[in-house]
Amino acid sequence: MKTRMTELFGIKYPIMLAGMNWLTTPKLVAAVSNAGGLGVLAGNHQTPDELREAIKEIRSLTDKPFGVNLTLGVGSAQRAPIVIEEKVPVLNYALGRPPEIAPLIEAVHGYGGKVIGTIALLRHALRSEQLGADALIITGYEAASHSGNVGALVLVPTISEAVKVPCIGAGGYADGRGLAAALALGAEGISMGSRLAATQDAEVVDAVKETWVNASEEDTVIDPAFDGINCRVLRNKAAEDLLEKKAFPLFDAISAGLHMKRVLKISWGELFRTANNMRKMPSGIGGGQRGLGSSMRFAVGSRLFRVALEDPVNGILMMGQTAGRIKDVPTVAELIERTVKEAEEILQNMNKQFAN
Ligand SMILES: Cc1cc2nc3c(=O)[nH]c(=O)nc-3n(C[C@H](O)[C@H](O)[C@H](O)COP(=O)(O)O)c2cc1C
């Protein structure tokens, strides 16, 4: 199955792994790349040294193209230079402002790498294209974690008709039906988060994978209560507790901020800069309080997102509506082969059905 996405990145299938905090380990990234997709490592959740090690580990597990995802403004100043020094084949950025995005794209293009911008609004898509992004991930309302307010059915055709670069649909894709639909809507491939998280290659406890299999499409909630900007998560006890705490969670935030400082080994200056950046996040992806409350919730959320990967009851588990489409825990290779085969069958059958 060839599209401009497969040609741009030199991959076999138009499927990529969405960057997912501590979940996209080198093993999972390499599994996706080895299966013919594009594996992507979320690069904000390790120390800079650990990020470099993770990139090296991916290279020891695959000789295929892979990417690193960076949320700009959240420790990216220390991490982007590593992505560039290591000549990572694909950089996928989210958020950020033109003065940070433009030099980054130029630097990656300088060594022959490709850049994908993640967006959820038409105006951000146009801006990313103008800044030089080679492809765009269009995140629909169905997605786990941060998105805008518009669903894929409207957002994907609206943006893919307005830009020239290849578009990749994200949010709600779990199978061949989703891939075929994305292609019909004007995308040239899909990015899967939740679905690839519930695979044998994902290094999370079985309880987390079972949670994905057992959840329905109605079991998620989107709200700024979890990390300061609109974020879609599993509606569990921990999520209900945070939804009830509408006041500023000041003490939780201080303790979580200190925890984050320890995990990421960042200085006081970086901690305050990150908190300040959260206050000023551009609208589009997310949408929330954009004040001191956002920074506090970001700190609280970051800690609970990590807890969720070992304890999906007491942690906050980012989860897409696509949970309702996840019924098993296959290997990454099985899932990708199955998805492409299903999509091809659907497209061929529709062609036959309507050709008469
Ligand atoms: C457990 C989990 C963790 C995630 N962590 C991140 C992250 O660190 N950075 C990010 O930009 N998106 C993150 N996402 C969102 C994904 O990149 C992607 O946009 C989303 O999963 C797509 O929707 P889907 O789950 O329906 O496929 C996360 C998603 C999940 C399920």
Distance, CA 178 to ligand 1 centroid (Å)? 17
Distance, CA 62 to ligand 1 centroid (Å)? 23
pLDDT in tens, the chain (356 residues): 899 999 999 999 999 999 999 999 999 999 999 999 999 999 998 999 999 999 999 999 999 999 999 999 878 889 999 999 999 999 999 988 899 999 999 999 999 999 999 999 999 999 999 999 999 999 999 999 999 899 999 999 999 999 999 999 999 999 999 999 999 999 999 999 999 999 999 999 999 999 999 999 999 999 988 887 889 999 999 999 888 875 555 666 666 666 666 666 767 777 777 666 665 555 445 544 455 566 666 666 778 899 999 999 999 999 999 999 999 999 999 999 999 999 999 999 988 888 76
Q: Under DSSP, is residue 245 helix (H, G, I), strand (E, B) or coil?
A: coil
Domain boundaries, the chain: 4-205+327-355, 220-308
Torsion angles phi and psi, residue 288, rounded to 5: -165, -140
Tell which atom from ligand 1 comes closest to the C-alpha of 309. 1
Collect all residues with Cβ–Cβ distance below 8 Å to 220 and sequence separation of at least 6.
Answer: 144, 232, 233, 234, 235, 319, 320, 321, 323
* The overall pTM is greater than 0.85: yes
Q: What is the CATH number of domain 4-205+327-355?
A: 3.20.20.70
What DSSP string describes 20-56? -GGGS-HHHHHHHHHTTSBEEEE-SSS-HHHHHHHHH
Pocket test for ligand 1, best of 318, 319, 322 (most atoms within 8 A of CB): 318
- Give the pLDDT confidence score for residue 224 in this predicted structure: 84
- Give the pLDDT confidence score for residue 53 in this predicted structure: 98
Tell which atom from ligand 1 comes closest to the C-alpha of 319. 31
Q: Under DSSP, is residue 177 helix (H, G, I), strand (E, B) or coil?
A: helix
Query: Which residue, judged by its Cα, is nearest atom 21 of ligand 1?
Result: 193
Distance, CA 20 to ligand 1 centroid (Å)? 5
- Give the pLDDT confidence score for residue 288 in this predicted structure: 47
- Give the pLDDT confidence score for residue 296 in this predicted structure: 61
Distance, CA 29 to ligand 1 centroid (Å)? 14
Are the C-beta atoms of 146 and 177 separated by less than 8 Å? Answer: no
Beta bridge partners of residue 114, listed in sequence order: 90
Tell which atom from ligand 1 comes closest to the C-alpha of 196. 27
Which residues sit with their C-beta closer than 6 Å to ligand 1?
A: 18-21, 23, 42, 69, 71, 94, 139, 142-145, 170-173, 192-195, 197, 318-320, 322
pLDDT tens, position by position, 260-314: 666 667 677 777 776 666 655 554 455 444 555 666 666 667 788 999 999 999 9
Are the C-beta atoms of 5 and 135 separated by less than 8 Å? Answer: yes
- CA dihedral sign, ordered 346, 340, 174, 168: negative
Distance, CA 345 to ligand 1 centroid (Å)? 28
